Chain A
């Protein structure tokens, strides 16, 4: 490696986050230290379940296998998430930018050196991020899973002992005897409180006998359910005897050509289906029947390959990991991972080649911010001139600054990821009391999801508004007569309403009035509105700045504490949504909840106006390393 490469590599590596843009006195070492601490903290969090697993011994084979696959999938999905976040946060540093070209072009540094050092810095930063994330979990989990690993041979099929035959005339007595432990003495109810019922029918020599227990009546109608397995098994046996099919015949060959791809491992045979050893799930995870009485009526061959496993890249890479570990069980998923990797590598290589051969030469001529067209310049007034100036400035900055938009998108993305997790995960939905129909009635997952999106939007806009666009241009606010007290607070409040609260609330109006009965929709919109106002006041607390103008010290962000704060907030939101769900059905409770929320919003507003400073702030000062106590000799005033 030549010297220019090493110098540039180091420079680019430490400039993955453009601290100079944020604050003149920012500490890059502190910022990177915080990121590393956060990742190690997460890694430690991932490791805690491993200790619990390690201390458990003699886990059944299936449980151990499920645990291994779950842990592998979780670590893969988390890695992908962190890599995604890394890509978002460092996007501006991924390619050489105008400043690199302006500064380095007059120097005798080859474009190739500049380019390769940039790629090397991005790759090194990415590798360091992943390694730090797995610093603890990446060692603990393999060690634990290895200690638990036991060979799982497929058990040999054996026949269970047959029950002694029962004569039809004696069947009722046998059933009475067998069901006696489950029946309540006197009433004869079967498993009281569950609504359970059993009907047994026997036809013997033309005589029909029907025995009903529990809530069932002799004329009750049941869904046939798993009884069909018996019939199917008998029909299969008959067809084998008739030599129409063979038990070891692969199922794939009996399906229309192309329905199922030839597996790289063992085929599924008819015997596997009949004995429930195929490994196929009981229900397809994408089964959403229109008619529950006939659930497979609208489920065709095309739906077979559209399950979550096939559409979630994290499962593809689980398949790839399994394949590389020598297990072909998830080979179809691994194939998708290979394709995905090939596409990503090709696109990345193309992007870098284009950047090298085209963009690098033209980059000097291009503005950092997309030019605005004449038609999009107009914006409405937002109250008095100061409020209009601040709000229009904030809107234009957010719409035209890619850097700020990307950071805001990061917050929105986290919120949406959690909403999807809440909405799609059956376990979480059940836990939160969400019914089968998630969309057409108020339920806890959707209530919590919308509040979470609102919180993310408000926190996101607070964070991006704290990040300056062009520090050196702030002088214009300092030489113009901008009052720093309540007037500027009102102007900034209006800007935050518009950028944070208004998009979420407007989208909620459209969504909930369309999906829900209007009283529930209006109730929830009122809750969202009051919450949004309270959150705006919290965002304004200590924010004596015009959005996008004050310098920003990342060292103050306390990113590791923010994660804990987020988890606590998530818990509060879910609990709050449970209260709101009950309140939406009861006017008195709803009024009480509205009063409490209104009081909270009023208190937050009072607190904000109380902490108001008379002057706007344009520079964040780092906390001093030494605090002066201002002690002096008696009678001598301090200088």
Chain B
């Protein structure tokens, strides 16, 4: 189980994440939603260990993750928001390096990399430098790097970004498959339809604070709204979209 207790992060005294608490069980896919700047990516970066918390605790398996970073990172997989990769390496070289950094057995890792590249339709381009890849191809490399060591916790930050429809459907299905095999999955995305499809539960963040944490069904019933999009708009969107769009159009004409 992954658990956050009163996790907070401030930048120059300005809170970006403010006392966030939630937990995700093994076999559960939790959707982590919020408008731009609400603190989703910051939370995920703290869970990965890239960013330090200002206060609070993050626990995995009941233990604070800082107690043994190395052991925690061995069982954590992360797909970041932006596809930043070492573009001078090929996909094969990059994944081999990730396998070495994770100290995976070379022979089985080679086979696993070849299999992942084939299944992600990257095998034909495995020797080309990543600088030549499209955004979708880079996203697939990120996915392969996150899954290579069969992690227990999967942290996904906009994992469908840049993927074509077919690949996005595969990834949605894969998330459900991994959850069914007992993985902890935390999914942050702006694609509410996808989140609604794969998540059993959603956590909605607004201005760094959790404003909702429940199953989608219960939220629907409680708020008497049919779609996740409506629930999200009610809880986290402050502006009236129609009024703002009218104001923009008027401004352009002036």
Task: Determine if B173 is an interface residue (Cβ-Cβ < 8 Å).
Answer: no
Contact assessment for A473 and B129 in the assembled complex, using a CB-CB cutoff below 8 Å: no
* Chain B residues with CB below 8 A from A516, complex form: none
Q: How many residues of A contact B (CB 8 A)?
A: 32
Q: List 8 A-B contacts (CB under 8 A).
A: A369-B87, A377-B90, A377-B127, A388-B100, A393-B97, A396-B93, A472-B84, A476-B85
- Quick one: given A369-B87, A372-B90, A386-B101, are A475 and B80 in contact (CB under 8 Å)? yes
Contact assessment for B131 and A367 in the assembled complex, using a CB-CB cutoff below 8 Å: yes
Complex-state Cα separation, A481 to B127, whole angstroms: 26
Task: Determine if B222 is an interface residue (Cβ-Cβ < 8 Å).
Answer: no
Contact assessment for B93 and A472 in the assembled complex, using a CB-CB cutoff below 8 Å: no
Complex-state Cα separation, A474 to B143, whole angstroms: 16
Q: Which residue of B lies closest to A400 (CB)?
A: B88
Task: Determine if A392 is an interface residue (Cβ-Cβ < 8 Å).
Answer: yes
* Chain A residues with CB below 8 A from B74, complex form: 481
Task: Determine if B49 is an interface residue (Cβ-Cβ < 8 Å).
Answer: yes
* Chain A residues with CB below 8 A from B128, complex form: 371
Contact assessment for A371 and B101 in the assembled complex, using a CB-CB cutoff below 8 Å: no
Interchain CB contact (< 8 A) of A476 among B69, B87, B88, B145 = B145
Task: Determine if B48 is an interface residue (Cβ-Cβ < 8 Å).
Answer: yes
* Chain B residues with CB below 8 A from A369, complex form: 87-88, 129, 131
Contact assessment for A372 and B50 in the assembled complex, using a CB-CB cutoff below 8 Å: no
Task: Determine if A479 is an interface residue (Cβ-Cβ < 8 Å).
Answer: yes
Interchain CB contact (< 8 A) of B69 among A368, A377, A477, A481 = A481
- Quick one: given A367-B129, A473-B85, are A480 and B102 in contact (CB under 8 Å)? yes
Contact assessment for A368 and B127 in the assembled complex, using a CB-CB cutoff below 8 Å: no
* Chain B residues with CB below 8 A from A393, complex form: 86, 89, 97
The digit string for A371-387, where 1 denotes a CB below 8 A from any CB of B, is: 11110010000001110
The digit string for A333-352, where 1 denotes a CB below 8 A from any CB of B, is: 00000000000000000000
The digit string for B133-147, where 1 denotes a CB below 8 A from any CB of A, is: 000000000000100
Task: Determine if B76 is an interface residue (Cβ-Cβ < 8 Å).
Answer: yes
CB contact list, B74-118 vs A, under 8 A: 74, 76, 78, 80, 82, 84-90, 92-93, 97-104, 106
* Chain B residues with CB below 8 A from A479, complex form: 48-50, 73, 76, 78
Q: Which residue of B lies closest to A389 (CB)?
A: B100
- Quick one: given A377-B127, A479-B48, are A389 and B132 in contact (CB under 8 Å)? no
Q: Which residue of B lies closest to A548 (CB)?
A: B86
The digit string for A446-487, where 1 denotes a CB below 8 A from any CB of B, is: 000000000000000000000001101101111111110000
Complex-state Cα separation, A142 to B238, whole angstroms: 73
Task: Determine if A397 is an interface residue (Cβ-Cβ < 8 Å).
Answer: yes
Count chain A CB atoms within 10 A of each CB in B92, B100, B145 and give the residue with the most.
B100
Task: Determine if B244 is an interface residue (Cβ-Cβ < 8 Å).
Answer: no
- Give B contacts to A, CB under 8 Å: 48-50, 69-71, 73-74, 76, 78, 80, 82, 84-90, 92-93, 97-104, 106, 127-129, 131-132, 145
Complex-state Cα separation, A396 to B145, whole angstroms: 19
Contact assessment for B50 and A478 in the assembled complex, using a CB-CB cutoff below 8 Å: yes
- Quick one: given A368-B131, A371-B132, A480-B73, are A377 and B103 in contact (CB under 8 Å)? no
Contact assessment for A470 and B87 in the assembled complex, using a CB-CB cutoff below 8 Å: yes
Complex-state Cα separation, A450 to B106, whole angstroms: 40
Contact assessment for A385 and B80 in the assembled complex, using a CB-CB cutoff below 8 Å: no
Contact assessment for A476 and B131 in the assembled complex, using a CB-CB cutoff below 8 Å: no
The distance from the CB of A357 to the nearest CB of chain B, in whole angstroms, is: 25
Q: Which residue of A lies closest to B75 (CB)?
A: A481
Task: Determine if A401 is an interface residue (Cβ-Cβ < 8 Å).
Answer: yes
Complex-state Cα separation, A393 to B96, whole angstroms: 10
Contact assessment for B88 and A483 in the assembled complex, using a CB-CB cutoff below 8 Å: no
* Chain A residues with CB below 8 A from B97, complex form: 389, 392-393
Interchain CB contact (< 8 A) of B127 among A367, A372, A470, A475 = A372
- Quick one: given A386-B100, A479-B78, A481-B101, are A469 and B70 in contact (CB under 8 Å)? no
* Chain B residues with CB below 8 A from A384, complex form: 103
- Quick one: given A369-B87, A469-B88, A475-B50, are A480 and B131 in contact (CB under 8 Å)? no
- Quick one: given A368-B131, A371-B132, are A385 and B101 in contact (CB under 8 Å)? yes
The distance from the CB of A488 to the nearest CB of chain B, in whole angstroms, is: 10
Contact assessment for B103 and A386 in the assembled complex, using a CB-CB cutoff below 8 Å: yes
The distance from the CB of B188 to the nearest CB of chain A, in whole angstroms, is: 15
CB contact list, A381-425 vs B, under 8 A: 384-386, 388-389, 392-393, 396-397, 400-401
The distance from the CB of A110 to the nearest CB of chain B, in whole angstroms, is: 26
Using A476-B145, A479-B50 as known contacts, list a sample of 13 further A-B pairs with CB atoms less than 8 Å apart, ordered by residue number in A: A367-B129, A371-B129, A372-B127, A384-B103, A388-B100, A470-B85, A473-B85, A475-B84, A476-B85, A476-B86, A478-B50, A481-B74, A482-B101
Contact assessment for B93 and A385 in the assembled complex, using a CB-CB cutoff below 8 Å: no
Contact assessment for B101 and A389 in the assembled complex, using a CB-CB cutoff below 8 Å: yes
- Quick one: given A367-B132, A396-B88, A469-B88, are A385 and B98 in contact (CB under 8 Å)? no
Contact assessment for B48 and A478 in the assembled complex, using a CB-CB cutoff below 8 Å: yes
- Quick one: given A369-B131, A400-B88, A469-B86, are A481 and B100 in contact (CB under 8 Å)? no
Count chain A CB atoms within 10 A of each CB in B48, B74, B76, B129 and give the residue with the most.
B129
Complex-state Cα separation, A393 to B106, whole angstroms: 16
Count chain A CB atoms within 10 A of each CB in B71, B88, B99 and give the residue with the most.
B88
* Chain A residues with CB below 8 A from B70, complex form: 481, 483
Contact assessment for B87 and A478 in the assembled complex, using a CB-CB cutoff below 8 Å: no
Count chain B CB atoms within 10 A of each CB in A367, A397, A479 and give the residue with the most.
A479
Contact assessment for B102 and A401 in the assembled complex, using a CB-CB cutoff below 8 Å: no
* Chain B residues with CB below 8 A from A478, complex form: 48-50
* Chain A residues with CB below 8 A from B92, complex form: 377
The distance from the CB of A436 to the nearest CB of chain B, in whole angstroms, is: 49
Contact assessment for B93 and A377 in the assembled complex, using a CB-CB cutoff below 8 Å: yes
- Quick one: given A389-B97, A393-B97, A478-B48, are A473 and B84 in contact (CB under 8 Å)? yes
The distance from the CB of B211 to the nearest CB of chain A, in whole angstroms, is: 28
* Chain A residues with CB below 8 A from B76, complex form: 479
The distance from the CB of B141 to the nearest CB of chain A, in whole angstroms, is: 11
Contact assessment for B127 and A374 in the assembled complex, using a CB-CB cutoff below 8 Å: yes
Complex-state Cα separation, A177 to B215, whole angstroms: 124
* Chain A residues with CB below 8 A from B88, complex form: 369, 396-397, 400-401, 469-470
Count chain A CB atoms within 10 A of each CB in B69, B89, B98, B99 and give the residue with the most.
B89
The distance from the CB of B72 to the nearest CB of chain A, in whole angstroms, is: 8
Q: Which residue of B lies closest to A370 (CB)?
A: B129
Contact assessment for A385 and B103 in the assembled complex, using a CB-CB cutoff below 8 Å: yes
Q: Pick the 6 closest A-B CB pairs, nearest first.
A: A389-B100, A472-B84, A367-B131, A480-B101, A481-B73, A385-B100
* Chain A residues with CB below 8 A from B145, complex form: 476
Complex-state Cα separation, A373 to B201, whole angstroms: 47
Q: Which residue of B lies closest to A374 (CB)?
A: B127
Complex-state Cα separation, A96 to B193, whole angstroms: 43
Complex-state Cα separation, A374 to B91, whole angstroms: 12
* Chain B residues with CB below 8 A from A477, complex form: 101
Interchain CB contact (< 8 A) of B89 among A385, A386, A396, A482 = A396
Complex-state Cα separation, A400 to B71, whole angstroms: 33
Complex-state Cα separation, A373 to B90, whole angstroms: 10
The distance from the CB of B99 to the nearest CB of chain A, in whole angstroms, is: 8
Contact assessment for B103 and A481 in the assembled complex, using a CB-CB cutoff below 8 Å: yes
Q: Which residue of B lies closest to A373 (CB)?
A: B127
The distance from the CB of B89 to the nearest CB of chain A, in whole angstroms, is: 6
* Chain B residues with CB below 8 A from A372, complex form: 90, 127, 129
Complex-state Cα separation, A388 to B50, whole angstroms: 23
